[in-house]
Amino acid sequence: MQVPDLVPVIPELILLVAACAVLLVEPFLKTEGPGRGDKTAVMGIALAGLAGSLVVSLALVGQHRVSFAGMLVLDDWAVFFKVLFAIGAGLTILMSPLYLEAHRRHLGEYYALILFAVIGMDLMAAARDFILLYLALELMAISSYLLAAFFRYRARSNESALKYFLTGTFASAIMLYGISLVYGQSGATNYVAVGQVLGGQGGSVAVLFAVFLVAMGLAFKVSAAPFHMWTPDVYQGAPTPVAAFFSVGPKAAAFSAIMAAFVVAFPGAVKEWGLLFIVLSIVTMLVGNVFALVQTNVKRMLAYSSIAHAGYLLTGVGAMGWAGNSYPGQGVMLYLAAYTFMNLGAFGVLAYLKSQRPESFDHTLKQMAGLGRSSPWAAVLLSLFLLSLTGIPGTAGFIGKFYVFSGVVWAGLWWLAVIGVLLSAVSAYYYLRVIIYMFFREPEGEYAVKHPISGGMAGSLAVSAIATLIIGIVPSWLWDAVGSAFITLFR
Amino acid sequence: MLTALTFLPVAGALVMLIFMRGRPSAYKTTALITSIFTLALSVYLAARFRTGTAAYQFVEDHSWISSLGISYHLGIDGISLVLVLLTTLLSVVAILGSWNSIKDRGLAFFISLLVLETGMLGVFVSMDLFLFYVFWEIQLIPMYFIIGLWGGARRVYAAIKFFLFTFVGSVLMLVAILAIVWWYAKNGGPLTFDILALQQAGFSGSLAVWAFAAFFLAFAIKVPMFPVHTWLPDAHTEAPTAGSVILAGVLLKMGVYGMIRFCIGFFPEVAVKAMLPVLILSAIAVVYGAAMSLVQPDMKRLVAYSSVSHMGFVTAGLFTFNQQGIEGSVLQMVNHGILTGALFMMVGFFYDRTHTRLIRDYGGMAKPMPVAAAFFSLFVVGSLGLPGLNGFVGEFLILVGVFQYMKVFAVIASVGVVLGAAYLLWMYQRTMFQQANEKWFSLKDLSAREIITLVPLVGMAIWIGLYPHTFLNLLHAPAQNIMAQVQPYLAEHGDSLLGLAGSFFGGF
């Protein structure tokens, strides 16, 4: 048997080793009662694994390798997402110990599960075959279900996991059915091979149906409306750092899969799937923004806001298909990078607040009142991330929206951009409302924080804030990186 | 040079943030010195400015986001210079004026003011659409906090209303920016956000009409023109004194400035088609704003509605597209900034002492506060257009311009002037004279600091009133430039009412 080229999966192998090491080392650590104790060692291993994966990925920039009989490639496209996932997971891990400690559920398998999810996400971005895409998606999803249920003594956490699991498996099944139809039409599961067979025959009904089903499965993962129902409950019930991770990692992975799969495998039906995503994007932006308006719980508001952001991202995907050109997709990639930092940051501040008062704080707006006085740093950081999510210039969020809508207008869909920007003006209302509570209102009860932001949480928030500002002020390098990554998709 | 001017306030704010937390006198002094240095720098620029040319001066151009043709491109012409001077002057005044009235979180307040100054200066010196948009949006944040944190009773409502109104307009403008940039890039031009390059593009057809509409809406909200003015009375009334001064003095001008640069600069043909509709809206604003002022029980709200009326003059003058109208319009922006800023300042000084803004709570204030009454009278008569003070010069030029274009509007505008005299003098009479309110007999007159705050405004009012040539000189060339842009279309579309409405759907 011929040994496949393993170079493309070195980042994932590093993560795999680190995850196994975490599981093996953890039993030997001293514990001080259930869920307590010094877990620096396992956290260090997990972070080292992510750092190793990050460095190796960066070292592999510019390479082009196909491995495992064409199922998987190594190109700048995959590297871009691998780097993004490693950074996202690293920031999540840094903000976790404080939170888990406060809830007495500081267990090593948490870190292992995050690493497994990252392996799945990496493979989703690198996959060039529907079967591998499905496997990678499941690896990511199953790790996610477990993470959602991590506080297994809590009803909300269980509800969250169960909802996520049931709807998630259902979506996976639909996608699998779509893949089987694709196979039936083309006799192949490899993107390129499928593209060659289906590209010529255009959009027959059977092909369109298959495309539709695959799109549905992935739309579930990016929490596009009307497949978004799970998102608010899952985010609210899951541990906050986990919710932060869900809102950026799996979403970016699913977008990478959507763009790679649809662009390469369904070139004959670009108009149709472009239109499908345009419709999805309009519904998603509407649902996300309108429901976010009425939330009084900030965590739930952020969940709906993440739906709204999926909508903005989908406009770019739709424009890509509609124009039959990849240019708008570059904006989507840039937005994903920007979104990773600002959304992780916003959830991170919530995680910090929750860890300060694990019993009484439940993320409601009321409890944010007066934060500007009691914890100015947390309030200022959260304001920065929220303003970035609004899309105020000088922040990453503006650059992301600018590039996405620039691509949308480029594709001639200026009316779609108008819908997008008007709804993002709506979003200003609910983001600013949090700022109003933090700075303009006096606290009703006593919600003061016990300790200032410190340690890993401080590092994580600082990195997110600095990245949010840097991308906002000098985005050129990121745009260039996105551009060179996107081209490799077509080799 | 312009970079230094623009970012000097932020640099001062950073120094304050890092070194002077919890030391009010230190950070206040630093804020004042920073703003005075910025003013000095802008005066130095004005001294070195070459008049008689419409070309942009002190240009700086560096590539910023090269893949989209976005550059860090700064430059000023006469119109921008005048507005830059207004901004730097009013910033000093605003900082001095809020010296003692801001007690809570003073550091954040003065930092907000300085960041706001950078945002405003950036808007006036940007030569790149992207850069312009960045500054245009960024100044929303400090203003939002200034209203929301240090404002009056309904400040939260006013702050969010101010933010959302402006934000909706701006995001539509963003789409219009993208649309024209991509149209130009796809139709033979380079991919660029450079304002001068785009002015050469010659946009036409339905794209031009729709893009004009988006730009115009964004700027009309800012001006604010009737009927999108409703945020203004709330924001002005609830904002702290310094906030009202800056808001009325400078932020409103950004709207008209945008109309000059973009609505007329990019789409001269559509702008000419829009002449009559804009003049009608302006006339409504002039009379409506004045009529609303007449019935306001709250001094600050009265001054706020008078802004609607006065800005109606400004937009009317601009859209006559003749020399007097345009120059009068720009000059009137400066006058309005100085006089309305001063009026808000005076109301603020009274409020600091009495903690009420209702006209009926006052009366006989001239007795305990004769100096204040004297200053107030000067600003009131300046604002109603007394010859010899600056308000007259601007209004006169605008009336001349409007008269040349269509006499009926000059008549309507004169009605506005008369109403202006009515509500201002009536307010003055009811607050300063009439039945004295015993409660206020023990009030102290203006302090030395307060007088120092007002003196530069008085000086400017008299200077422009007696010798407007200094400033008009700066405006001749840019005004002629604007006229040259619209000249080809004036004869054809100059007085069409429905030309604009028709062309909205011309492309469909």
What is the residue extent of each domain of chain B? 282-466
Q: Say yes or no: B171 contacts chain A, CB-CB below 8 A.
A: yes
Close Cβ partners of B202 (under 8 Å, ≥ 6 residues apart): none
Would residue A285 count as lying in a domain?
yes
Q: Say yes or no: A470 contacts chain B, CB-CB below 8 A.
A: no
Q: Say yes or no: B193 contacts chain A, CB-CB below 8 A.
A: no
Percent of chain A exceeding pLDDT 70 equals 97
Nearest Cα to A231, choosing from A204, A254, A202? A254
- With contacts defined as CB-CB under 8 Å, which chain B residues touch A440? 148-149, 155-156, 159
Point out the least confidently predicted range of A404-408, B165-169, B436-440.
B436-440
Q: How far is CA A410 from the centre of its chain?
A: 26
- With contacts defined as CB-CB under 8 Å, which chain B residues touch A387? 141
Nearest Cα to B239, choosing from B156, B135, B170? B156
pTM of the full structure: 0.90
Rounded mean pLDDT, A433-453: 78
Token pair recorded at residue A219: 């739309």
Token pair recorded at residue A457: 């949480």
Would residue A2 count as lying in a domain?
no
User: Residue A28 and residue A43: Cα distance in Å, rounded?
Assistant: 14
Rg of chain B's alpha carbons, rounded to an integer? 22
Selected for mutation to probe chain A from B168, B171, B181 (highest A CB count within 10 Å) is: B171
CB contact under 8 A, A387 and B155: no
Asked whether the CA dihedral A26, A32, A35, A39 is positive or negative, the reply is: negative
Would residue A1 count as lying in a domain?
no
Domain that holds residue A15: 7-490
Predicted confidence (pLDDT) per residue in A341-364, tens digit: 999 999 999 999 888 887 778 888
Tell me the nearest-neighbour CA distance from B396 into chain A, angstroms.
Answer: 40
Res B508: pLDDT? 40
Token pair recorded at residue B322: 């003749």
b or e along A61-86 (b: 16 or more beta carbons within 10 Å of the residue's beta carbon)?
eeeeebbbebbbbbbbbbbbbbbbbb
Selected for mutation to probe chain B from A387, A418, A442, A479 (highest B CB count within 10 Å) is: A418
Predicted confidence (pLDDT) per residue in B399-421, tens digit: 888 888 888 888 888 888 888 88
CB contact under 8 A, A409 and B178: yes
Close Cβ partners of A467 (under 8 Å, ≥ 6 residues apart): A341, A396
| Stretch (H or E) spanning A72 | strand A72-74
Whether residue B439 has pLDDT greater than 80:
no
User: Residue B478 and residue A145: Cα distance in Å, rounded?
Assistant: 65
Residue A2, exposed/middle/buried by CB under 10 A (0-12, 13-18, 19+)? Answer: exposed
Nearest Cα to B308, choosing from B379, B231, B380, B254? B231
Would residue A189 count as lying in a domain?
yes
Tell me the nearest-neighbour CA distance from B115 into chain A, angstroms.
Answer: 13
A412, A323 in Cβ contact below 8 A? yes
* More confident: A468 or A159: A468
Give the residue from chain B lying closest to A480, CA to CA: B67
Rounded mean pLDDT, A281-288: 93
Tell me the nearest-neighbour CA distance from B13 into chain A, angstroms.
Answer: 16
* Total length of chain A: 491
User: Residue A249 and residue A461: Cα distance in Å, rounded?
Assistant: 17
Residue A47, exposed/middle/buried by CB under 10 A (0-12, 13-18, 19+)? Answer: middle
Res A149: pLDDT? 87
User: Residue B403 and residue A237: Cα distance in Å, rounded?
Assistant: 68
DSSP 8-class letter at A295: -
Res A271: pLDDT? 86
pLDDT band at A122, cuts 50/70/90? very high
Tell me the nearest-neighbour CA distance from A346 into chain B, angstroms.
Answer: 18
CB contact under 8 A, B159 and A409: no
Residue A422 is nearest to which of B65, B148, B171, comparing CB atoms? B171
Q: Say yes or no: B65 contacts chain A, CB-CB below 8 A.
A: yes
Q: B384 by DSSP, 3-state: which?
A: coil
Predicted confidence (pLDDT) per residue in B255-264, tens digit: 999 999 898 8
Would residue A79 count as lying in a domain?
yes
Measured CA to CA in angstroms, residue B420 lies from B164, B287, B391 at distances of 30, 9, 11
B97, B348 in Cβ contact below 8 A? yes
- With contacts defined as CB-CB under 8 Å, which chain B residues touch A365? none
Q: Using a CB cutoff of 8 Å and minimum separation of 24, what contacts does A107-111 make? A: A107/A26, A107/A35, A107/A39, A108/A22, A108/A23, A108/A25, A108/A26, A108/A29, A108/A39, A108/A42, A109/A22, A109/A23, A109/A26, A110/A147, A110/A150, A111/A19, A111/A22, A111/A42, A111/A43, A111/A45, A111/A46
Domain total of chain A: 1
- With contacts defined as CB-CB under 8 Å, which chain B residues touch A393? 133-135, 137-138
Q: Say yes or no: B155 contacts chain A, CB-CB below 8 A.
A: yes
- With contacts defined as CB-CB under 8 Å, which chain B residues touch A396? none
User: Residue A401 and residue A404: Cα distance in Å, rounded?
Assistant: 5
- Taking only residues 408 to 427 of chain A, the set having a beta carbon closer than 8 angstroms to any beta carbon of chain B reads 409-410, 414, 417-418, 421-422, 424-425
Q: Are strands A65-67 and A72-74 parallel, antiparallel or unpaired?
A: antiparallel
Res B497: pLDDT? 60
CB contact under 8 A, B182 and A483: no
